[in-house]
């Protein structure tokens, strides 16, 4: 919903007069009377900004009780286009709401809501729903524009405890946080910052002015702000960062356990990623940030805090090899046992700030290995990392990342001129940086492999070279929609084998992001996505609705078959890559956490065993990013990064989805304590913790 604006895209337009579910009303008796004077329309205009660039607009026109909203933005060659209609009742609650348009990846939206004769009816991507309207409730539009916050805010401000039950489920709550004088416009303007909670995992932060008019929705990266105040971007993204930081710092204070004694995890079996097997029953002793010893299962000493593993399995912390990390997902990754992430491109300053807070213990989060994102300026560019306009600037960007001393690779993106790539690769080699990335527009994977890539990012980037014409532009959504052509490809053809030969000969790895392709190609409106089946019932209502929404525009049986067939072709290609010995990295590009569990699970389709998957996601991933001497296995002398599950993941990989304890640098977290802060129903009991005998 609103607080997922940088990932999903939602929006609106206007139709005054109800929606498809409104009941027919008998014609009224005509009485000649002077028509009341129509209220004057009030227009509000907003700019959508991301990383300092204007990427779209939102306009809201209010005429009496009706509101029309048009919302559109484009980043990285894609984005939503929405037309939204809201009609308010006398109590300020919506009596009808329609949303039409398409989401970021093209799924068409036709959403309706109406109150009629004591019944609420709606249709969203999950299908139709209805409920008795026997109390004051507010509809949460699944595909609402940011202007929906104004509707929610006005309704909640009028409520005694600023909380309203909601359709289709749950409740919304509004909290005033602080007064903010916004600079950067024609004149300073007084606003109040609010947090909206109840629909999603995290609060949505937004501003209303002194007249209770909507002013901005804010996040650390993404901003929708009243026109004329674009100069306030830094002030407001910093405000959003601080508000989120304060929330996560509070959660960290309440859920991070540093016992001040050695900690023993007793009665566990350890997954050994070298032997790809479990040990017998043992205990693991942690002192400070480090694994001190592995000893007999029930050994303990009077000065130790002992946590009962109850015969479960201790697994080295998992690695997401394709992340774009922010505060919002750092803690949830820890709760999911993800203690290492390779960040594939970010706002460089904000990422450095986040890493500093994680390192000093202010925030919980994984270790982060940084890649330097380099993109060419174009009408379709991604607003991330460093944007360049020439080969000289591109090479200078490589040098900048190398000069920082803490970047692992450069990542080349869609709008880079392919002719610049050999020089970029040569400079990266000279400066000790690896090279990965997308295939820039108007070239193909073969050319990039020959230019010197160490690794290819996203399996579609490799496979598009088999179906696209040289003039087709992959800076647009075509790089996803063209996957419909994949079922026509013979995966054993010379064309395909040549690409795989090049990868083998040049020792080129692949970061397929398998799960995001499953979501893109197999999600269907009204059907629960396969990747969320094991946990979705524990999630907030907004997450549950999104889990039943398609990503792509699938209108016909032919579309359905083409997309499903494309996913089969991806699986077939990955099988061939595995068989050829091409090194496969396991990462999500979807925030990690629960989605990394699904990413790993999918590789069983390719022929990996659960033990091979766990080894790849732990020690082998750590080795790849040159941290294998510090993390990746539960070994004395290494960092205490691991997690505890009750089951046996070597027999059934699903066991990694039920986590009782996580250790990051020796700090202990119990996910059951963390999840309620995100509206998630916990999955396990907290293990028994016994204080040192000397403390009794």
In-domain check, residue 191: yes
**Per-residue pLDDT for 446 more than 50?**
yes
Strand-strand pairing, 94-102 and 81-88: antiparallel
Give the per-residue pLDDT at 328.
Answer: 83
Contact 164, 153 (CB under 8 A): no
Q: Is the pLDDT of residue 186 over 70?
A: yes
What is the rounded average pLDDT of the residues 277-286?
A: 98
Residue 417 is predicted with a pLDDT of 98
**Segment 210-262, tens digit of pLDDT:** 999 999 999 998 999 999 999 999 999 999 999 999 999 999 999 999 999 99
pLDDT at residue 28, as a whole number? 36
Q: What is the pLDDT of residue 35?
A: 57
- 169 located within any domain: yes
Find the domain containing 125 and state its range.
Answer: 42-255
The answer to whether the CB of 469 falls within 8 A of the CB of 412 is no
pLDDT digits (tens, 9 = 90+) for 58-70: 999 999 999 999 9
Please give the full DSSP string across 580-634, using - where no structure is assigned.
TT--B----SS-STHHHHHHHHHGGGGT--HHHHHHIIIIIHHHHTT-TTTSSS-
> Is 511 inside any structural domain?
no
Sequence-separated (6 or more) residues with CB below 8 Å from residue 615: 273, 274, 276
User: What's the pLDDT score for residue 695?
Assistant: 63
Predicted confidence at residue 9, as pLDDT, reads: 33
How confident is residue 694, by pLDDT bands cut at 50, 70 and 90?
low
Place of tokens 């398409």: 102
Q: Determine, yes or no, domain membership for 178.
A: yes
Q: Which of 638, 632, 631, 656 lies closest to 646, judged by CA? A: 656
The tokens for 277 are 């097997």
Q: Tell me if 66 is assigned to some domain.
A: yes
Place of tokens 């990390």: 325
Residue 15 has a pLDDT of 22
Nearest to 449 by CA among 374, 500, 388, 399: 500
**DSSP labels, 447-504:** HHHHHT-SEEESHHHHHGGGT--TT--TTSTHHHHGGGGGGG--TTSHHHHHHHHHHH
pLDDT tens digit string along 639-652? 999 999 999 999 99
pLDDT at 696: 55
**pLDDT score of 346:** 94
How many domains are there within the chain? 1
pLDDT at 32: 47
Query: What mean pLDDT is predicted for residues 470-485?
Result: 92
Find the helix or strand (DSSP H, E) in which 352 lies: helix 348-359
78: confidence class by pLDDT, cuts 50, 70, 90: confident
Residue with tokens 């337009």: 13
Give residue 7's pLDDT.
39
Is residue 145 a part of any domain in this protein? yes
- 386 beta partners: 374
Please compute the mean of the pLDDT values over residues 269-282 and round it to a whole number: 98
Kindly state whether residue 90 falls inside one of the protein's structural domains. Answer: yes
* CB-CB neighbours of 589 under 10 Å: 20
**Residues 542-567: tens digit of each pLDDT:** 999 999 999 999 989 999 999 999 99
Cβ–Cβ under 8 Å, residues 245 and 327: yes
- Considering only CA atoms, which of 565, 476, 487, 463 is closest in space to residue 521? 565
Pairwise pLDDT comparison (171 vs 4), residue with the higher score = 171
**pLDDT at residue 199 in the model:** 87
Summary mean pLDDT of the chain: 93
Closest CA to 456 of 492, 385, 380, 509: 509
**CA distances, 641 to each of 288, 337, 598, 646, 664 (Å):** 12, 9, 21, 17, 5
**Helices (DSSP H) in 166-261: which residue ranges?**
233-255
- Give the pLDDT score at 474: 94
Determine the Cα–Cα distance for residues 552 and 501; give it in Å rounded to an integer: 32
Tracing tokens 């300020």 back to the chain, one arrives at 92
Please give, one letter per residue, the 3-state secondary structure of 413-447.
CCCCCHHHHHHHHHHHHHHCCEEEECCCCCCCHHH
Whether residue 378 has pLDDT greater than 90: yes
pLDDT on residue 31: 43
> Is residue 489 pLDDT above 80, yes or no?
yes
- pLDDT above 60: residue 284: yes
Are 548 and 526 in contact by the 8 Å Cβ rule? The answer is yes
What's the distance, CA 666 to chain centroid? 27
Question: Domain for residue 119, yes or no?
Answer: yes
Nearest to 573 by CA among 611, 529, 605: 605
pLDDT tens-digit profile of 128-156?
999 999 889 999 999 999 999 999 999 99
The radius of gyration of the chain from alpha carbons, rounded to an integer in Å, stands at 26
For residue 560, how many other CB atoms are within 10 A of its CB?
15
Q: Are 667 and 652 in contact (CB under 8 A)?
A: no
Tokens of 467: 């179906």
Query: pTM for the whole thing?
Result: 0.90
Which tens digit of pLDDT belongs to each residue from 682-691? 999 999 999 9
């Amino acid at each position: 919903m609103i607080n997922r604006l940088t990932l999903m895209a939602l929006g609106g337009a206007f139709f005054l007069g109800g929606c498809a579910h409104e009941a027919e009303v008998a014609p009224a008796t005509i009485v000649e009377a002077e028509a009341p004077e129509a209220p004057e329309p009030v227009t509000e205009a907003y700019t959508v900004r991301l990383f300092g660039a204007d990427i779209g607009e939102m306009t809201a026109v209010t005429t009496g009780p009706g509101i029309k909203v048009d919302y559109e933005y484009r980043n990285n060659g894609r984005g939503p286009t929405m037309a939204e209609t809201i009609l308010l009742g006398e109590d300020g609650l919506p009596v009808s709401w329609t949303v039409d348009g398409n989401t970021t990846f093209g799924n068409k939206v036709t959403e309706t809501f109406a109150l009629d004769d004591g019944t609420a009816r709606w249709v969203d991507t999950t299908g139709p729903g209805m409920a008795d309207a026997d109390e004051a409730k507010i509809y949460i539009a699944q595909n609402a524009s940011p202007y929906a916050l104004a509707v929610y805010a006005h309704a909640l401000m009028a409520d005694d405890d600023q909380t309203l039950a909601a359709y289709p489920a749950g409740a919304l709550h509004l909290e005033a946080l602080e007064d903010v004088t916004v600079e950067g416009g024609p004149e300073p303007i007084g606003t109040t910052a609010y947090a909206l909670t109840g629909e999603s995992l995290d609060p949505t932060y937004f501003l209303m002015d002194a007249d209770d008019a909507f002013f901005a929705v804010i996040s650390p990266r993404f901003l929708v702000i009243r026109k004329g105040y674009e100069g306030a971007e830094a002030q407001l993204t910093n405000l959003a960062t601080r508000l989120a930081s304060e929330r996560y710092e509070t959660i960290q204070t309440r859920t991070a356990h540093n016992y001040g004694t050695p900690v023993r995890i007793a009665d566990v079996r350890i997954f050994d990623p070298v032997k790809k097997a479990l040990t017998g029953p043992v205990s693991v002793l942690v002192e400070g940030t480090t694994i001190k010893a592995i000893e007999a299962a029930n050994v303990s000493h009077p000065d130790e805090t002992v946590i009962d593993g109850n015969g479960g399995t201790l697994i080295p912390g998992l690695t997401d090899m394709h992340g774009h990390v922010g505060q919002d997902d750092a803690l949830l990754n820890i709760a999911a046992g993800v203690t290492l992430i390779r960040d594939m491109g970010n706002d460089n300053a904000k990422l450095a700030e986040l890493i500093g807070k994680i390192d000093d213990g202010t925030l919980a989060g994984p270790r982060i290995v940084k890649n330097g994102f380099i993109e060419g300026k174009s009408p379709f560019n991604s607003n991330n990392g460093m944007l360049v306009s020439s080969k000289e600037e591109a090479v200078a960007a490589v040098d900048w990342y190398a000069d920082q001393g803490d970047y692992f690779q450069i990542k080349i993106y869609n709008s880079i001129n392919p002719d610049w790539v050999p020089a970029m690769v040569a400079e990266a080699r000279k400066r000790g940086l690896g090279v990965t990335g997308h295939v820039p527009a108007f070239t193909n994977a073969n050319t990039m492999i020959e230019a010197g890539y160490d690794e290819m990012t996203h399996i579609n980037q490799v496979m598009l070279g088999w179906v696209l014409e040289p003039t087709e532009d992959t800076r647009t959504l075509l790089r996803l929609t063209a996957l419909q052509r994949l079922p026509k490809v013979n995966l054993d053809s010379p064309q395909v084998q040549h690409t795989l030969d090049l990868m083998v000969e040049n020792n080129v790895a692949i970061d397929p992001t398998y799960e995001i392709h499953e979501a893109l190609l197999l999600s269907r409106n009204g059907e629960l996505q396969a990747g969320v089946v094991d946990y979705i019932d524990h999630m907030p209502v907004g997450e549950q609705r999104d889990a039943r929404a398609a990503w792509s525009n699938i209108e016909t049986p032919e579309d359905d078959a083409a997309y499903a067939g494309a996913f089969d072709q991806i699986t077939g290609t990955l099988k061939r890559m595995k068989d050829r010995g091409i090194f496969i990295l396991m990462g999500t590009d979807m925030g990690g956490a629960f989605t990394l569990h699904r990413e790993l699970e999918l590789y069983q389709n390719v022929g990996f065993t659960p033990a091979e998957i766990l080894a790849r996601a732990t020690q082998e991933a750590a080795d790849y990013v040159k941290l294998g001497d510090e993390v990746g296995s539960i070994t004395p002398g290494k960092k205490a990064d691991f997690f505890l599950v009750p089951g046996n993941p070597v027999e059934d990989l699903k066991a990694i989805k039920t986590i009782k304890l996580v250790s990051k640098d020796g700090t202990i977290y119990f996910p059951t304590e963390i999840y309620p802060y995100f509206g998630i129903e916990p999955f396990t009991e907290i293990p028994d913790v016994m204080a040192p005998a000397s403390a009794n």
